[in-house]
C-alpha cells in the first residue's frame, strides 16, 4: 500500500479517521494512533476520547445490572420466604407472595447474566 497523498512513497500505517494509507511525512501520532498530519488530528483525538468514555460507561452499566440483580434477588428471597412461612395461614395470598418472589428471582438472574456481558 502506498501513501494516499504521496503515491510514490510506501505507507507506514492508516489514518484512524479516514482509513487512508499514510507515509512517514503525512502521519501524525496521536495517542498511539495515526492521523493525517494537519488534517484529522483533532478528529482522532475526539475518537479516542469517545472510546475511553464508552469503555467507562460500559463498566458503569455492568455494575448497575449487578446492583439490580442483588436487589431483586434479596427482595425475591424475602417475598418467597414470607410466602412459604405464611402458606398455612394465608393460603392463596401466600401463593401470590411466592409467585412474586419467584418472578423477582428470575429478574435477578436475568440482570446478573446481563451484567456479565459488560465485564
Question: Into how many domains does the chain fold?
Answer: 2
In a shared domain, residues 54 and 108: yes
> Which range marks the domain in which residue 2 is found?
1-41
For residue 28, what are the β-bridge partners? Answer: 35
* 55 and 89 together in one domain: yes
Q: What is the pLDDT at residue 69?
A: 97
Q: Same structural domain for residues 75 and 97?
A: yes
Same domain, 65 and 18: no
Give the pLDDT band of residue 118 (cuts 50, 70, 90).
confident
Do 36 and 61 belong together in one domain? no
C-alpha cell at 86: 405464611
Average pLDDT estimate for 46-55: 90
pLDDT attached to residue 28: 92
Residue 57 has pLDDT above 90, yes or no: no
Mean of pLDDT over the chain: 93
Task: With a cut of 90, say whether residue 114 has pLDDT above it.
Answer: yes
3-state secondary structure of 67: helix
Does the pLDDT at position 97 exceed 90?
A: yes
pTM for this prediction: 0.60
Give me the DSSP letters along 29-53.
Answer: EETTEEEETTTSHHHHHHHHHHHHH
Amino acid at each position: 500500500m502506498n501513501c494516499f497523498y504521496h503515491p510514490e512513497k510506501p505507507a507506514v500505517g492508516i489514518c484512524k479517521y479516514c482509513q487512508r494509507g499514510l507515509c512517514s511525512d503525512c502521519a501524525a501520532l496521536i495517542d498511539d494512533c495515526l492521523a493525517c498530519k494537519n488534517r484529522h488530528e483533532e478528529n482522532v483525538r475526539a475518537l479516542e476520547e469517545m472510546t475511553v468514555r464508552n469503555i467507562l460507561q460500559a463498566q458503569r452499566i455492568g455494575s448497575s445490572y449487578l446492583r439490580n440483580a442483588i436487589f431483586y434477588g434479596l427482595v425475591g428471597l424475602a417475598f418467597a420466604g414470607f410466602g412459604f412461612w405464611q402458606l398455612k395461614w394465608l393460603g392463596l395470598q401466600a401463593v401470590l407472595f411466592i409467585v412474586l418472589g419467584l418472578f423477582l428471582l428470575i429478574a435477578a438472574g436475568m440482570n446478573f447474566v446481563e451484567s456479565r456481558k459488560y465485564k
